[in-house]
């Protein structure tokens, strides 16, 4: 679009690349901020090709450095991003849908239902807005683990992956970008066909189909054995996400089942304590049980990491800030 516009305006050949650079590589909040361009040109651009923005409704910062953003979209919908610092790594968790239709029992997003898919800009723009606020906070890693199921919005997610990864975009290495899914097999197959080495995370939460169905209704449509078969192209760049829930999926037998599927696919396991912002009828496993579960995996040759719950002093559970903000609005007279 910029190239065609520059050609119609009879601008010098280098202008299109100069304009494109201000989208992602050195983003500008508006064309008026792009002071490397002539003033008259900036005025025309603002009038004819204005730069879209996400509107920040609220931001919360945790004592551990985690930051939660709630973005308001032009149609009134709201989405969340989470920025997580860890040493030299700065991981941005992005949303791909407003709400979610999948209704996983432990997830706050599922309580709001599905609203709509996000556009490619609304996804990649979450990273752009943070850079605009502070250029030093350019994400080194991106995970599609925010609101929504990425692989149910594959056309937009695919384009956003290109923007995030391409050197002419944000230039984040493919192995530093992870797409998380509950196991949407057609989307997994599409992702596997891409030439880049993006990483895949599967929200597993149980290696027993019956137990998984009780937590995740999607098991009825895409069975665990089929999901694991579709994951084979991602061998050795695959992660299983596993929220530990007391008395539900944290027993020794659950660990042994997880070992079998993880070893078969060379998968890394992220063990996650149940966040208190999830479901009120589920209880988090004790720290002692979490340690024993992790040790049982490691003793059988599976790489397992217990992830700290970040942002416990803010609304950091997926979808929690949006739900709480909406409740406050409705409570106002």
Write out the catalytic residue numbers.
Answer: 80, 318
| Tokens, residue 48 | 């004819």
At a CB cut-off of 8 Å and minimum separation 6, what does 297 contact? Answer: 255, 258, 259, 262, 269, 271, 304
Residue 49 per-residue DSSP state: S
Q: Are 129 and 181 in contact (CB under 8 A)?
A: no
Q: How far apart are CA 262 and CA 222, in angstroms?
A: 19
Own/partner pairs, 87-92, CB within 8 angstroms, 24+ separation: 88/140, 89/140, 89/141, 90/137, 90/138, 90/139, 90/140, 90/141, 91/139, 91/140, 91/141, 91/142, 91/143, 92/126, 92/127, 92/130, 92/139, 92/141, 92/142, 92/143
Q: Are 270 and 239 in contact (CB under 8 A)?
A: yes
| Tokens, residue 201 | 């995370």
- Helix, strand, coil share of the chain (percent; to 5): 40, 20, 40
Query: Pairing state of beta strands 97-99 and 114-117?
Result: antiparallel
At a CB cut-off of 8 Å and minimum separation 6, what does 64 contact? Answer: 308, 310, 311
Q: How far apart are CA 162 and CA 164, in angstroms?
A: 5
Q: How far apart are CA 29 and CA 56, in angstroms?
A: 13
């Amino acid at each position: 679009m910029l190239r065609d516009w520059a050609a119609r305006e009879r601008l010098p050949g280098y202008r299109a690349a100069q304009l494109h650079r201000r989208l992602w590589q050195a983003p500008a909040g508006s064309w008026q901020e792009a002071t490397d361009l002539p003033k008259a040109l900036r005025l025309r651009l603002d009038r004819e090709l204005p730069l879209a923005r996400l509107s920040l409704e609220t931001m919360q910062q945790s004592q551990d450095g985690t930051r939660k953003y709630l973005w308001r979209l032009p149609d009134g919908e709201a989405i969340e991003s989470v920025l997580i610092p860890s040493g030299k790594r700065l991981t941005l968790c992005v949303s791909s849908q407003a709400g979610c239709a999948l209704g996983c029992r432990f997830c706050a997003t599922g309580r709001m239902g599905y609203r709509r898919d996000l556009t490619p800009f609304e996804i990649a723009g979450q990273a752009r807005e943070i850079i605009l606020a502070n250029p030093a906070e350019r994400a080194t890693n991106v995970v599609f683990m925010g609101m929504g199921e990425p692989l149910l919005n594959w056309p937009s997610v695919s384009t956003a992956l290109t923007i995030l990864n391409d050197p002419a975009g944000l230039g984040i290495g493919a192995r530093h970008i992870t797409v998380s899914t509950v196991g949407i097999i057609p989307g997994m197959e599409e992702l596997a066909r891409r030439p880049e080495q993006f990483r895949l995370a599967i929200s597993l939460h149980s290696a027993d189909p019956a137990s998984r169905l009780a937590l995740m209704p999607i098991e009825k449509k895409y069975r665990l054995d089929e999901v694991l078969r579709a994951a084979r192209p991602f061998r050795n760049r695959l992660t299983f996400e596993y929220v530990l829930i007391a008395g539900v999926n944290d027993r020794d037998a659950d660990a042994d089942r997880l070992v079998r599927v993880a070893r078969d696919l060379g998968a890394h396991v992220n063990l996650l304590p149940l966040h208190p912002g999830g479901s009120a009828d589920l209880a988090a496993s004790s720290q002692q049980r979490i340690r024993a579960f992790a040790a049982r995996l490691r003793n059988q040759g599976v790489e397992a990491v217990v992830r700290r719950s970040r942002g416990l002093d803010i609304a950091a559970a997926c979808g929690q800030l949006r739900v709480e903000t909406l409740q406050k609005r409705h409570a106002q007279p």
